[in-house]
Amino acid sequence: MIERIRQEMLKLGFDEVTVDPMGNLLGRIGSGPRVIALDGHVDTVDVGELSLWDRDPFSGDIEDGILYGRGASDMKGGVASSVYAGALLKKSGIPDNVTLYVTATVQEEDCDGLCWQYIVNEDGLRPDLVVITEPTSLRIYRGTPRTDGNGSPHLRYLLPRISTGARGQRGLQDGRHHR
């Protein structure tokens, strides 16, 4: 999955595309001091009981404009949107003072926040703003800024909890209810 997205970013002309040792994909556009990240995880929970699915969870069927499959909503759709948002920004011209990262992250379903802990601490990427494209039934949630022991707002501000409703559906009919 990471390799597929990496190829797409390269094709779309991202300025730099790297995979960190944890497996997170970081696509960069621009090089300004103001750093914005669009983030989405690419791992999914298991498909669970196959008989509960209306269709093959790995089919990728598209019908009446709806894409069906495990992770279609949580959150391949958000990742695809972010990659192409980056491409559009690249095409139209990113402001000189902005760096945009599109991140496709891993292991979110096993340990929410671990990937960004790694990106912040090990990769050294500390965006001013992160937009996480988790599905939220089209509602916007704002992450709660957190501080470290010294009151610095910089270390733990990247870990908002955005409710998706998907967790309650683990192993169930993700394809039907979360498109």
User: Which positions lie near Zn ion, rule CB under 5 A?
Assistant: 74-75, 134
The catalytic residue among 39, 43, 74, 134 is: 43
Q: For the CB of residue 30, give the shortest distance to Zn ion in the complex, in Å.
A: 27
Q: How far apart are CA 85 and CA 98, in angstroms?
A: 14
Q: For the CB of residue 134, give the shortest distance to Zn ion in the complex, in Å.
A: 5
Please give the residue whose beta carbon sits closest to Zn ion in the complex.
Answer: 74
**51 forms bridges with which residues in the sheet?**
none
**16 forms bridges with which residues in the sheet?**
28
Asked if 16 is an active-site residue, the reply is no
Q: For the CB of residue 147, give the shortest distance to Zn ion in the complex, in Å.
A: 25
Q: How far apart are CA 139 and CA 141, in angstroms?
A: 7
DSSP secondary structure string, 143-168?
A: PPP---TT--TTSSTT------S-GG
- The closest alpha carbon to 100, from 142, 39, 161, belongs to 39
Residues 119, 87, 38, 41, Cα dihedral to 10° = -70
Asked if 108 is an active-site residue, the reply is yes
Judged by beta carbon, residue 44 or residue 99, the one nearer Zn ion is 44
Judged by beta carbon, residue 99 or residue 105, the one nearer Zn ion is 105
Contact 58, 1 (CB under 8 A): no
Judged by beta carbon, residue 75 or residue 102, the one nearer Zn ion is 75
Q: For the CB of residue 43, give the shortest distance to Zn ion in the complex, in Å.
A: 9
Judged by beta carbon, residue 134 or residue 174, the one nearer Zn ion is 134
Kind of pairing, strands 98-105 and 34-41? parallel
The catalytic residue among 8, 39, 74, 108 is: 108
Catalytic residues: 43, 108
